[in-house]
Amino acid sequence: MAVTLLHLQDHLTRLSLAPDVGASLVNWTVKATGQALLRHSDASALAAGTPRRLGCYPLVPWSNRIAEGGFARPEGWQALMPNTEHDPYPIHGSAWQQAWQVEHHTDRRARLTLDSDVPFAYRAMLDVELHEGCLSLELQVSNQGEVANWFGLGLHPYFPRHAETRLQALAQHVWLADEDQLPSRQAPLPKDWQFAYMGPLPERQVDHGFGGWPGSCLIEQPGYRLACSASGAEHFLLFCPEGKDFFCFEPVSHPVNAHHLPGRPGLRLLQPGEGMSLGFKVQYQPL
């Protein structure tokens, strides 16, 4: 698959965007050293034509999995179908599987938009900016349907993982899942999942949602640090697969399967025309 890229840069870093591939971010790197700040994607990864091989993509109009074939809304049941071949549940919304439009593009900024009717009507907008080594992402969604519906947002960045990679991210609890990978209960943090202080990533696989997050984290890599801050996200998902050279730290507005959790934590019931947003800033700091 031939992928059209947009290019952004400031005096410290450069970044590419793939609007046609779910508004994905590609190869954010340091100009002076070539260091990868997001997971590196080679030509074969680009040709695969899926955000899952790239650096980051937006999650709209929900994050992660939804069970039971849909969810209840005030006007009745919203049916959903699985949207991948490898997962029995609809996952990560639908924006990552569609081509976005370029509303404007300069050397340091771009705005991408999507008008979608799948699986229900919404309009999404992603603003991307580079400034002094800081990557700023602002994701917005508005309900374009005729009835109120439940919405959530997230971002799915992939970061390089090295033996020296360290993480600091405060959380109050973790959502533990059953065998179906859907959370059923909150629990205290196991010792190796406590990131209040800078420490290594867990050796065992982690694929869980964490709550009570104040919205900031630090990622330390060989030669540099990323200082991250989020708005509109009181949860993060941490995915650390065993034996891989990447990990995911995902700022999200709600936990997995929030549509079926008591109180629908983090979701917003948007009336027609109403919207919500999520922001994420990642500041590169050489060490």
| Domains of the chain, first to last | 6-286 (2.70.98.10)
Note the pLDDT of residue 262: 93
Note the pLDDT of residue 132: 98
Note the pLDDT of residue 2: 83
Note the pLDDT of residue 185: 86
> How many C-beta neighbours within 10 Å does residue 124 have?
25
The residues, any chain, with a CB within 8 Å of residue 23's CB and separated by 6 or more, are 17, 57, 58, 95, 96, 100, 112, 114, 126
Note the pLDDT of residue 91: 97
Residue entry with tokens 């990990």: 247
| Residues of the chain with confidence (pLDDT) below 50 | none
Strands 134-143 and 13-18, how do they pair?
unpaired
Separation CA 245–CA 102 (nearest Å): 31
Separation CA 266–CA 18 (nearest Å): 29
> How many C-beta neighbours within 10 Å does residue 226 have?
21
- Kindly state the DSSP code that residue 56 receives in the 8-state scheme: B
The predicted model scores a pTM of: 0.97
Q: What is the mean pLDDT of the chain?
A: 96
Note the pLDDT of residue 183: 86
